[in-house]
Amino acid sequence: MERKVQIYDPAMCCDTGVCGPSVDPALTTLATAVHALKKEGYDVERYNLANHPAAFAENETVNGLLHQEGTEALPAVLVDGEVQKTGEYPTKEELTSWFELESKDLEVQQPKLTLDVQQVKGE
């Protein structure tokens, strides 16, 4: 059975965490991991309260969580509809365990660069 992971973010201007005066490394790590999972066809979605308020209202679990704990419960992470984590983002280790992957599976491959070590001098 394929798992479904839903991440409900607090209101913010972007998903990567690089849009403000300080960069949140947890957000950049999460954005990279989510991108890698989606690229491989895994069912993982993120919802930003500022951009997708209907997703929060329509999900009974998240809606109830917000009524009980307020926005302090965000981010909220659901796996197959069940709350797995609130108040902080999932780690790469948690994501890999939920999808039964290895940590290396979420590493983003950097393109290899080819450098010409010969210099051509013009006269």
Structural domains of the chain, with CATH: 4-106 (3.40.30.10)
The position carrying tokens 């949140």 is 24
Any idea which residue has 């209907």 for tokens? 54
| Per-residue pLDDT tens over the stretch 12-55 | 877 666 666 777 788 888 998 999 999 999 999 999 999 999 99
Helix, strand or coil, per DSSP, at residue 6: strand
List phi, psi (to 5°) of 46.
-120, 140
Residue 113's SS3 state is: coil
Tens digit of pLDDT for each residue in 58-102? 999 999 999 999 999 999 999 999 999 999 999 989 999 999 988
**Does the pLDDT value for residue 107 go beyond 80?**
no
| pLDDT value, residue 81 | 96
